[in-house]
Amino acid sequence: MELLARHPHSVPLGTKDLGPISTLAPFSALIISIVLVVFFLVRYYILEGFLIRRLYGSVYTDMSELNRRGFINHHIAGVTKLIILIVAAYPFVSVAFCKGPSFSTPFVKGSVVTLGDILVVVSQMLIGIYIFELIYRVKLSPVAVMHHIGTIFIGQAAIAISLRPLREPDAYIEFVLCTVWGAFDAVFELFPHVAIILYRTFPTRHQFLSRVFLISCFSTAMGTVAETVVTMWLFASTWDRWRLAFKVVTPVLHVAFSAAQIHGSLVFWRMYLRQKGFQREADTEAKEFNIMDDISVNHRQYQSQSVDSAEGEGNSGMATVKSGVPVVGAVEREL
């Protein structure tokens, strides 16, 4: 508390009068509906319609229905997160870490579109990814289900409590923290989507896949650590602006999210070990094949030499003996 008194607002977020998030906040239901409709159109008419088959051919058509749905979902989630990163980078950094800009600051000078408008739209896009996955995927782990449901409820609640008549005094800071979670999710969870796509596309390239999964494991783990540091730093820096309920709930929610992300890192680590095991098996089989191939070559060479020797002696009967008995002994010695 003495440190907070000495440096009451160590980050710009602690000094801002953020005000309403966006004039689009009351239309969140409409925005999320549009996002889900767009996901359906892209999935049904573009990806499943023709694009995926043209890009991947038999790799896609030979998949089971379970894997096909996961494959398409990773394409939609990966591309959407990339769009979110491109569009929301400037508004997010400006509101969360820069002095001056707030939710009502124009996105472009003279524009009616504000930074808050962009953040509301991209937050609905991120939430839409998880809703689409819950509906479209055939199979999800319990951890993934809990993570997605928690993200949906918390993201929508952060917008809802900023609206009249429920407008909470710390709702705007809670929304900023939600954008921090979303930003780290979009950055560090982007490559895992690529990793799964590569896994389905090149299932026999075990050495390559082991490296991909190792990178995915470390990227998600680093993302969890970095997210925890940034989130708790912002949370502590704005401590005196939070009410008691949010002081308790926010860390609990963050622990739950971090647990889900750590679980994802462990899954990628197990996939890395599995691919390393496949690679060792493939190397062993290749070594055994090379040994047998060498044995076969030596057998043919020795047999040819025996026949030539027998022909030189002019005795066909001896050729049969010399080309048969010694060859068996040579093979036995090689084994």
Q: How far is residue 290's CA from residue 295's CA, in Å, rounded to a whole number?
A: 9
At CA 139, angle to CA 28 and CA 214, rounded to 5? 95
3-state secondary structure of 29: helix
Q: How far is residue 230's CA from residue 238's CA, in Å, rounded to a whole number?
A: 12
3-state secondary structure of 106: strand
The HSE-up count of residue 291 (CA atoms within 13 Å, CB side) is 10
pLDDT tens-digit profile, the chain (335 residues)? 444 444 444 566 666 666 678 999 999 999 999 999 999 999 999 999 999 999 999 999 999 999 999 999 999 999 999 999 999 999 999 998 888 788 889 999 888 999 999 999 999 999 999 999 999 999 998 989 999 998 999 999 889 888 876 677 777 888 888 999 999 989 999 999 999 999 999 999 999 999 999 999 999 999 999 999 999 888 888 888 888 888 888 888 888 888 888 999 999 999 999 999 998 888 787 776 666 555 555 555 555 555 455 445 444 443 333 333 333 333 333 33
Q: Give the per-residue pLDDT at 304.
A: 55
**Greatest pairwise CA separation for the chain in angstroms:** 112
Q: Do residues 101 and 115 touch, judged by C-beta distance below 8 A?
A: yes
Give the residue among 102, 263, 253, 95 at the shortest CA–CA distance from 183: 95
Q: Give the per-residue pLDDT at 1.
A: 41
Q: Do residues 219 and 191 touch, judged by C-beta distance below 8 A?
A: yes
Q: Do residues 297 and 290 touch, judged by C-beta distance below 8 A?
A: no
Q: Give the per-residue pLDDT at 269.
A: 96
Q: Give the per-residue pLDDT at 325.
A: 37
Q: How far is residue 79's CA from residue 29's CA, in Å, rounded to a whole number?
A: 22
3-state secondary structure of 235: helix
For the chain, the structural domain boundaries read: 17-280
Indicate whether this model's pTM tops 0.85.
no
